[in-house]
Amino acid sequence: MIDIKLIRENKELVKENIKKKFQDKKLPIVDEIYNLDIEYRELKTKADTLKAERNRISDEIGKLMRDGKKEEAMKVKNDVSSIGEEIEKLTKKEESLNKFIKEKMMVIPNIIADDVPIGEDDSKNVEEQRFGDPFVPDYEIPYHSDIMANFCGLDKESAGRVSGNGFYYLIGDIARLHSAVLSYARDFMIDKGFTYCIPPYMIRSDAVDGVMSFEEKENMMYKIEGEDLYLIGTSEHSMIAKFKDQILQEKDLPITMTSYSPCFRKEVGAHGIEERGIYRIHQFEKQEMVVLCKKEESDLWYDKMWNYSVELFRSLDIPVRKLVCCSGDLADLKYRSCDIEAWSPRQQKYFEVCSCSNLTDAQARRLAIRYKKATGEKEFVHTLNNTVIAPPRMLIALLENNYNKDGSVNIPKALRPYMGGVEKILPKI
């Protein structure tokens, strides 16, 4: 959520930002908020004036009582009662209007960075840099689910009977590799100075509304029937909401955390659930990195975070590239974002494995997360998040880039301690 001062003082800037995000249907909302805010401030001014008048008259009553002028004091007291009723009416209107304005403000997108490419959808995202040389072997690499099946490592048929489409069983060496990748990613981030955390996997609706836009909520989140709880789509949701309504101390910033969780997603929309493989599914596990910092440090942390992703994937001998997200591909709360994409030698193209985002103070405003400066002044923190790894999708890149002609898969050196020293896994069929 942006600061309403932006609409008060420069609503054309807010409108231009909406146009850059190709959300013209929201343009009238800016004018609506602008006018409602004027009405709100007028109500508040009137209520504050009446409160001051009530205080003045109350002091007068006290003086009359001390002077023994009880009858005159009682007459003035009736005036105070009348003012009190008017203040109560104005306060209720003020509170109702303030709530309505906040609801409207929630749909206004965050101001994007000046250097964000302008484009309507992800087809306009811009490749910025490549890391590692893409390699295509002189033998065929099977589809990832077929590789897993050769290790007797994937069972979607049984999962379909138990849970439906979009779920899976991982078994044997593939399941162990999945866990090894998560453990390696955890330790990788701990070595970078991040604090490891396992968060709640369900959060309340006020936390959900604080961390994401309404559209994302409808397309992603599973609601627990009969409870004010939602299953998280990423541990970022729990990790940022952990600081809801808190005033942090400047000396404690930045707060850097890496968190593990299962993730649950409805995947409503254009992409949908993948029928055959495990690229887009309803349930997966993920290691995340989250940072809360001061405004002047957020761009620095953004660069650090996406670079950590590059470093991790390169440590596993997987070529990657950085793809800068265009304006139309940014979720409403994002100031800037980039994807780290891994090379697929089978498809001979890159695919998304990490997403790094700087949300400036948009989440913090929704969740009322501030920090207190040494001067005593309070400011909203900036929040950032990035995928460390998200298997089983990450397994696709790992398997394809380490697949041998005989069907075996090499285990990168960095992962071997987490695989009992095994250097290679062999197919079962």
Range of weakest confidence among 19-23, 93-97, 196-200, 213-217? 213-217
Contact 220, 265 (CB under 8 A): yes
Contact 93, 100 (CB under 8 A): no
Residue 78 pLDDT grade (very low, low, confident, very high; cuts 50, 70, 90): low
> Residue 272 pLDDT > 70, yes or no?
no
Q: How many CB atoms lie within 10 A of CB 146?
A: 13
* Domain annotation for the chain: domains and CATH numbers: 4-105 (1.10.287), 122-425 (3.30.930.10)
pLDDT at 297: 97
Reported as a single tens digit per residue, the pLDDT across 14-43 is 999 999 999 999 999 999 999 999 999 999
What angle do the packed helices 70-105 and 27-66 form, to 10 degrees? 160
> Residue 309 pLDDT > 60, yes or no?
yes
What are 349's strand-pairing partners? 344
Long-range CB contacts (< 8 A, 24+ apart) of 189-193?
189/258, 189/287, 189/289, 189/308, 189/388, 190/258, 192/256, 192/308, 193/256
Question: Could you tell me which residues come within 8 angstroms of residue 178 by beta carbon, excluding any fewer than 6 positions away?
Answer: 170, 285, 391, 392, 395
Contact 289, 386 (CB under 8 A): yes
> Residue 108 pLDDT > 90, yes or no?
yes
> Residue 313 pLDDT > 70, yes or no?
yes
pLDDT at 75: 67
Distance CA 126, CA 123 (A): 9
Question: Could you tell me which residues come within 8 angstroms of residue 267 by beta carbon, excluding any fewer than 6 positions away?
Answer: 166, 219, 220, 273, 280, 281, 282
Please tell me which residue, 367 or 84, carries the higher pLDDT value: 367
